[in-house]
Amino acid sequence: MDSKGNSEKKKDLTCVGKSVRRVDGWPKVLGKAKYTADHSFEGMLFAAVKRADFPHARIKSIDVEGAQLPGVEAIMLEEDIPGNPRFGALNPHQPVIISDIVRYLGDGIALVAAKSEKIAREAAKRIVVSYEELPGLFDPREARKSELSIHPEGNEIVHHVLRKGEVSEGFAAADVVLERDYQTQFQEHAYLEPEAAVAVPQPDGGITVYGSMQHPFSTRRVVARVLGLPLAKVRVIQGELGGGFGGKDESSSIVCARAALLALKTGKPVKLVNTREESFVESYKRHPYYLHYKVGAKKDGTLTAMEIEIVADGGAYASMSTFVTWRSVVQATGPYTVPNVKTDVYAYHTNNTYTGAFRGFGSPQIVYASESLMDELAAELKISPAEIRKKNFYQQGGETATGQTLKHVVSLEPALDAVLAELNKKPLEQNANPVFSRGRGFACSYRGVALGAEGVDATGAVVNLLEDGSAIVSTGVAENGQGLRTVFSQIVSEELGIPLEKIVFLDCDTSSIADGGPSVASRCTIMGGNAVRHACLQLKERLNLSEQPDLQKAIKATLNAGKSLYAFGWHNAPKVSWDEHTGQGDAYFTYVYACQGVEVEVNNQTGETKVLRAVAAHDVGMALNPQQVELQIYGGVTMGAGYGLTEEVILEKGVTKNPNFNGYHIPDSRMIGEIVPIIIENPDAAGPFGAKTIGEPTCELLAPAIANAILQATGARVRTIPATPARVLHAMQKEGAPA
């Protein structure tokens, strides 16, 4: 599958493109890596939070008297906050703690610091809050119509539009028009390590915060704002991260800000660690979507029009809803050429847990719906699911729904062919036991790389080459467990010709490197990798490596000439554009393409579905470390299986009914058999060594592939995920009618 140029180029590489071992693997395997909760300081206090008792209520009074237990050193309410008590990247209306109106059950009302965690928690429990209960809104479709307003600015968070051509003409020209509704759920990130922070006051009145967060710079912004300190006096150091998956942004900033408030107030280090239940209730989830699709096609499968309306549940606070739903509006048609498109994506506030970034970021929902729809349309037209897709796939030189011309290699067809070839190596064999039915299905997607027209997309890296030929590397994007330290070290090794063992990668510390933007949007390899490369290229020039191939001699000569071997590289993403009134523009500077296929087995009596085999083909531009790409695929496919089959945070009138892993089921090896990763490489001019993206595309495809496979196995179409046993049985009873 390698393009020819790439295989030739790859031959010359010594470290990049190789499956080298993780540079940070040993400390983790040996239990020596320090996660946030492992940090301890002399005289450290422990914090606890008193949270809301109702999902929507006006606070009448807060009585802390009963909480003044021996060992309690501070109790803080909103009025004690020295800076601005509200934060938010787009709408700064989210409270760190609140004293007037609670809007969901995760809202904090009071903070306690005490000599032990036990005392802190007991004290928090004894804080008595009296409320006037307010009527709540728990369905975004209700919130859309309701007279009740959760925030003064109204319930609508955002409305994105996309207009291309004229849908009425497209539908008039169609031979078949199909309308379908799909629904998706709240999904929990389920990182192993719940949110944690340790805040340490500094002699100069500033604060250092060790925290479990994805984006140390966003956290710094929130902590400084809440404490009323200049950014420079807030130092945020990322601990080893026990998973994030998009979940450790606001959820982590709030925990860090609370610990910092108590530390500043008491003058002592303060540790705050959420329990699993607190994490479930407080941290944001993946947005549930209500999706209505109308599609028109010619008899031969050619698409003529799509009209899409999506309503997302934003929950209590705005968080990233505007950006998450923006990715949805860009990609909602799927990777298909449609001449006439009308898409509206709305997000509304409810009194549910708020929703935000989650691996995939507004794509798993629309990929589930649009890829289910393609199979439904193919069935209606009596053509194969592969044929209808191939007929309409985006092509190199073709135009997307947003009017962008795709100038790079568009590898949808190779990805689909690779998956079908692997899946169909063996014919589909039914289980001899008639209780079980097996079926196969697949789904395809395209995905904008990095932040796109969301905003500024730039990042930096420092490569500090030392006199003995070892190097210290740090970057403005942070290791989230995805393997960034390893891949960036490989780039340094490749460029400077030094072995990996001589490279030390620093933890992200906001006081020692420029703000490199968040570690999101699968942007780290492509953005940070380029920045690392720029730093190395500067060094190579100073070392005059083209004339002096002996690195040690070159280092000596450069230092003797009084030049530094400390280089800062900066990378600014290629230009993108967006017209918010028409939904037209070059939304992302490049895209990735993928296909995942699956064979499932459904128990016809219980409705339980297992994934026997999954095949995932992803074009990553170039695999800088093939094994790490495969690991991303294993993880993402598994996460996608959970999204499709078992994972759902159940909220009843704002109350989380399953706030732990005994009631919230992430998939395990009993549910998933073999996973076969297929790496496709078409080097992209925008990426370091041609590399693009892999983190998020891996988890957006399995749910629709499973839904399509369940249909083949049982004849029943499940239009609500997760496809739980009850939903599968229900759909089977209705024989293909909507679940």
| Nearer to ligand MOS (CB atom), residue 357 or residue 602 | 357
CB under 8 Å to 579, separation ≥6 — which residues? 585
Helices (H), 452-549: 484-496, 529-543
SS3 234: strand
Distance, CA of 580 to CA of 583 (rounded, Å): 5
To ligand MOS, the closest distance from the beta carbon of 246 in angstroms equals: 3
To ligand MOS, the closest distance from the beta carbon of 253 in angstroms equals: 13
To ligand MOS, the closest distance from the beta carbon of 524 in angstroms equals: 10
Distance, CA of 537 to CA of 542 (rounded, Å): 9
| Nearer to ligand MOS (CB atom), residue 189 or residue 440 | 189
Interacting stretch for ligand MOS, rule CB under 6 A, among 127-135, 292-300, 351-359, 729-737? 351-359
Nearest to 453 by CA among 156, 91, 162: 162
Contact between 121 and ligand MOS (CB under 6 A)?
A: no
- First-to-last alpha carbon distance for the chain, in angstroms, is 39
Residues 423-482 that bind ligand MOS (CB under 6 A): none
To ligand MOS, the closest distance from the beta carbon of 205 in angstroms equals: 32
Residue that the structure tokens 């009585």 belong to: 63
| Nearer to ligand MOS (CB atom), residue 191 or residue 358 | 358
| Nearer to ligand MOS (CB atom), residue 214 or residue 712 | 214
Of 104, 358, 368, 393, which one interacts with ligand MOS (CB under 6 A)? 358
State the residue number with the nearest CB to ligand MOS. Answer: 246
Contact between 484 and ligand MOS (CB under 6 A)?
A: no
| Nearer to ligand MOS (CB atom), residue 326 or residue 505 | 326
To ligand MOS, the closest distance from the beta carbon of 22 in angstroms equals: 20
Distance, CA of 640 to CA of 282 (rounded, Å): 23
| Nearer to ligand MOS (CB atom), residue 479 or residue 495 | 479
To ligand MOS, the closest distance from the beta carbon of 248 in angstroms equals: 8
| Nearer to ligand MOS (CB atom), residue 377 or residue 477 | 477
Nearest to 607 by CA among 708, 722, 432, 730: 730
Interacting stretch for ligand MOS, rule CB under 6 A, among 149-157, 293-301, 352-360, 709-717? 352-360
To ligand MOS, the closest distance from the beta carbon of 586 in angstroms equals: 20
Residues 246-285 that bind ligand MOS (CB under 6 A): 246
SS3 511: coil
DSSP states along 645-691: HT----EETTEES--STTTS----TTTEEEEEEEEE----TTSGGG-
Of 164, 359, 533, 618, which one interacts with ligand MOS (CB under 6 A)? 359
| Nearer to ligand MOS (CB atom), residue 214 or residue 708 | 214
Kindly give the pairing relationship between strand 270-273 and strand 45-51: parallel
CB under 8 Å to 470, separation ≥6 — which residues? 498, 502, 503, 504
| Nearer to ligand MOS (CB atom), residue 248 or residue 719 | 248
Contact between 521 and ligand MOS (CB under 6 A)?
A: yes
What string marks each residue from 361 to 400 as x (binds ligand MOS by CB under 6 A) or -?
x---------------------------------------
Kindly give the pairing relationship between strand 503-505 and strand 207-211: unpaired
Distance, CA of 71 to CA of 61 (rounded, Å): 24
Contact between 323 and ligand MOS (CB under 6 A)?
A: no
Contact between 357 and ligand MOS (CB under 6 A)?
A: yes
To ligand MOS, the closest distance from the beta carbon of 214 in angstroms equals: 6
Contact between 690 and ligand MOS (CB under 6 A)?
A: no
Interacting stretch for ligand MOS, rule CB under 6 A, among 148-156, 260-268, 354-362, 724-732? 354-362
Distance, CA of 629 to CA of 634 (rounded, Å): 9
Residues 191-220 that bind ligand MOS (CB under 6 A): 214
> Which amino acid is it at 99?
S
| Nearer to ligand MOS (CB atom), residue 54 or residue 361 | 361
In Å, the largest CA–CA distance within the chain is: 81
| Nearer to ligand MOS (CB atom), residue 215 or residue 534 | 215
To ligand MOS, the closest distance from the beta carbon of 285 in angstroms equals: 12
| Nearer to ligand MOS (CB atom), residue 345 or residue 521 | 521
To ligand MOS, the closest distance from the beta carbon of 657 in angstroms equals: 25
To ligand MOS, the closest distance from the beta carbon of 241 in angstroms equals: 12
To ligand MOS, the closest distance from the beta carbon of 157 in angstroms equals: 17
CA 44 to each of CA 272, 419, 685: distance values in angstroms, whole numbers, following the listed order: 11, 54, 50
To ligand MOS, the closest distance from the beta carbon of 639 in angstroms equals: 12
Q: List residues bridging with 133 in a β-sheet.
A: 57
Structure tokens at 622: 């170039």
Distance, CA of 706 to CA of 596 (rounded, Å): 10
CB under 8 Å to 716, separation ≥6 — which residues? 710, 728, 731, 732, 734, 735, 736, 739
Neighbours of 19 (CB within 10 A): 13
Distance, CA of 333 to CA of 400 (rounded, Å): 9
Total chain residues near ligand MOS (CB under 6 A): 8
To ligand MOS, the closest distance from the beta carbon of 519 in angstroms equals: 7
Distance, CA of 106 to CA of 316 (rounded, Å): 9
3-state secondary structure 622-645: CCCCHHHHHHHHHHHHHHHHHHHH
What string marks each residue from 555 to 574 as x (binds ligand MOS by CB under 6 A) or -?
--------------------
Interacting stretch for ligand MOS, rule CB under 6 A, among 358-366, 623-631, 638-646, 674-682? 358-366
Say if residues 739 and 662 touch (Cβ distance below 8 Å).
no
| Nearer to ligand MOS (CB atom), residue 265 or residue 523 | 523
| Nearer to ligand MOS (CB atom), residue 357 or residue 491 | 357
Distance, CA of 270 to CA of 260 (rounded, Å): 7
To ligand MOS, the closest distance from the beta carbon of 591 in angstroms equals: 16
To ligand MOS, the closest distance from the beta carbon of 356 in angstroms equals: 8
| Nearer to ligand MOS (CB atom), residue 342 or residue 359 | 359
Structure tokens at 16: 């990049």
Interacting stretch for ligand MOS, rule CB under 6 A, among 37-45, 353-361, 434-442, 469-477? 353-361
Residue that the structure tokens 């600015």 belong to: 153
Structure tokens at 602: 């459904």
E strand segments, 244-302:
270-273, 289-297
To ligand MOS, the closest distance from the beta carbon of 401 in angstroms equals: 21
Say if residues 172 and 339 touch (Cβ distance below 8 Å).
no
Nearest to 64 by CA among 106, 114, 102: 114
Contact between 520 and ligand MOS (CB under 6 A)?
A: yes
Say if residues 587 and 713 touch (Cβ distance below 8 Å).
no
Residues 228-247 that bind ligand MOS (CB under 6 A): 246
Helices (H), 298-359: 321-331
| Nearer to ligand MOS (CB atom), residue 521 or residue 710 | 521
SS3 595: strand
Interacting stretch for ligand MOS, rule CB under 6 A, among 332-340, 357-365, 548-556, 703-711? 357-365
Binding site for ligand MOS (CB under 6 A): 214, 246, 357-359, 361, 520-521
